[in-house]
Amino acid sequence: MIRRVDHLPSTEAAVNALRTLADEYGRAIEVIHDIGADQTSRRSAAGVGVTTDPDGSLPHEAHVELGGRPHVSVRLYPDDDALISVDGVECPDVARDDVPAFLRAVYDGHAWVKARRFPPGAFLIVPLPGDRTHKEYIPFVSLSPWLSGRVR
């Protein structure tokens, strides 16, 4: 069963949830924080030398690397979404609240790869709470050993 975490109101709350998840699955974790509009990747319109949003808040973005196989990295954006990379397959626009459930599905073996003969390619399918799935295209040439082991 895929569990959904309660609402993660901030990037720091999401990072704490990922630390707990890493501990639960015995994964090493490395976190890099980017704080301020001049540091975050989605604040280019903020202007040169500006560190706060127009409302005076500091946007907070974090990049998380999790050890082990598959190689997983998570980029948490201040806009309540994330970019998750699983063995080189980038899964953009994952809701920040779905990140722990997404990683649990990967680590518990619920994620799979659906192969397609023509045109050649595959899709990484990750089940999420509420009978939803995240589906991401993978060219066959980029199937890692971990991804190849999950082909159905």
Q: Give the residues of the chain that fall short of pLDDT 70.
A: 1-7, 34-60
What pLDDT, on a 0 to 100 scale, did the predictor assign at position 118?
Answer: 80
Cα distances (angstroms) measured from residue 68 to each of 60, 63, 77, 123, 146: 26, 17, 24, 22, 11
What is the model's pLDDT at position 37? 54
Please list, in sequence order, all residues whose beta carbon lies within 8 angstroms of the beta carbon of residue 116, skipping any fewer than 6 positions away: 122, 123
Residue 129: the pLDDT is 93
pLDDT for 13: 87
Quick one: what percent of the chain has pLDDT higher than 70?
A: 76
Q: Which pLDDT value is given to residue 7?
A: 66
pLDDT value of residue 61: 83
In three state form, how does the secondary structure of 58-103 look? CCEEEEEEECCCCCEEEEECCCCEEEEEECCEEEEEEEHHHHHHHH
pTM of the predicted protein model: 0.82
Q: Where are the domains of the chain?
A: 11-35+59-149
Distance CA 43, CA 78 (A): 9
How many residues are given for the chain? 152
